[in-house]
Structure 1
Amino acid sequence: MLPESYLASKDATLASIIESTPTFKKTDWNNDVYLALLESIVSQQISVKAADSIFARFRALFEDLYPHPELLLQKSNEELRSAGLSFQKINYLQNVAVFATEKGIDYQHLNLLSDDEIVAFLTPIKGVGRWTVEMLLMFVMDRPDVFPVDDLVIRQKMVRAYHLTETGRALHKQLHIIAENWRPYRTMACRYLWRWKPES
């Protein structure tokens, strides 16, 4: 059974969403978790257009357009600021580079770990939270069963689709109960929710 068919058989509401929502294209990061992690930090709390522009300028600071950890750590704050980065984001990018040089952010190594083990491995980096790692799991490592319950859009779409009235911890619990029906394809379910456009 195809994943979409499986999800539809388990959840009538999700079946309707899948039917009315276009399929999505897979992203191709060439399994580069390190670079994707840097981009996710640059993208925090700004528009996609601004993030793309700043990240392009950031990469242009490096000869081969690749911010190798050791080269990133050699850049002055002034050079990095010239790309449009805030001092906080510069600090977070440097934290990732230090972690990469000391412990490694290697796809082959990470791919041997479970989703929870990858979250535990990467979240000690200051500036990298659980949500950021879950996005990497979904879009870079192509893990099939990730449920980013703290993603604002996912929460809003689920509240709308399932007519939920709970708040706080009760809502958190209810979202998990609903998503349990989607295992082992919670990633795909969330991808459809992101793309779903509810009728007004």
Structure 2
Amino acid sequence: MDLESAILHLNKDSILKNIIQYAAVKPFTPSGNVYFDLLNSIVSQQLSVKAAETIFTRFCLLFPENYPSPELLLVTDPDQLRAAGLSRQKAAYLQNVAAYALENNIDSIEWEHYDDMEIIQMLTKIKGVGRWTVEMILMFTLGRPDVFPKDDLGIQQAIFRLYNLNTSGKDLLREMTEIAESWRPYRTVACRYLWYWKNQN
């Protein structure tokens, strides 16, 4: 993703331009490991960053070379997973991801052949994986440049405050989506600036 081109485009939005001037948002290299990042995302749900890191590390330590391969994860006793700090539900969701990975040979999928919506439809078939999780995979694992996770609470709060909106529910989502249209094809980058602003405010 060309961050310079994205910034040039997003600077047309005066509110974003004010954030871009001081925000420390840097280029990153997407991991590309959809399977591993799905596991991490599930572990991280509804946890602080520190707690999520601790539990995910404990989870990985259960496996050879600290890598929960689908084959091994699928046959791991759920009680072992719970001993690492995972809830019964999260343990089941992790094994759902492992089952999907094996059934679909996930490491051989050439993700570049699929558009964002196709990937959302593919991965949300896994019980425990929702649209927001897949949107994070698109943004940070696959490096897709034009993802807009409108259900993300941080994005909602940032747009609500920055653009002085006074709506809620479906009306808020509609207004957010309309505002974000002008950010295409760099909505991923715009969201990174919004998250930065939200974390500072």
Provide closer, same or farther for how the CA distance between residues 77 and 198 of structure 1 changes in structure 2, counting only shifts above 3 A. Answer: closer
Determine the structure 1 residue equivalent to 2:69.
Answer: 68
Partner of 1:131, secondary structure, is helix
Determine the structure 2 residue equivalent to 1:196.
Answer: 197
Conservation of the 8 A alpha-carbon contact between 1:21 and 1:197: no
Percent of residue pairs bearing the same amino acid type: 53
2:24 to 17, 22, 25: 22
The answer to whether residue 140 in structure 2 is matched with residue 139 in structure 1 is yes
1:7 to 3, 6, 10: 10
Conservation of the 8 A alpha-carbon contact between 1:179 and 1:186: yes
TM-score by length of 1: 0.94
CA drift at 1:197: 4.8
Determine the structure 2 residue equivalent to 1:113.
Answer: 114
Determine the structure 2 residue equivalent to 1:170.
Answer: 171
Moved more, 16-25 or 108-117: 16-25
Count of residues in correspondence between the two structures? 198
Provide closer, same or farther for how the CA distance between residues 64 and 199 of structure 1 changes in structure 2, counting only shifts above 3 A. Answer: closer
The runs of 5 or more residues in structure 1 that have no matched partner are: none
CA drift at 1:196: 1.1
Moved more, 33-42 or 166-175: 166-175
Provide closer, same or farther for how the CA distance between residues 198 and 136 of structure 1 changes in structure 2, counting only shifts above 3 A. Answer: closer
Provide closer, same or farther for how the CA distance between residues 85 and 27 of structure 1 changes in structure 2, counting only shifts above 3 A. Answer: farther
The answer to whether residue 128 in structure 2 is matched with residue 127 in structure 1 is yes
Partner of 1:143, secondary structure, is coil
The runs of 5 or more residues in structure 2 that have no matched partner are: none
Determine the structure 2 residue equivalent to 1:78.
Answer: 79
| Root mean square deviation, CA, Å | 1.6
CA drift at 1:64: 1.3
Deviation string, structure 1 residues 143-162 (Cα, Å, up to 9, x no partner): 00000000000000000110
Amino acid at match of 2:24: P
Partner of 2:106, secondary structure, is coil
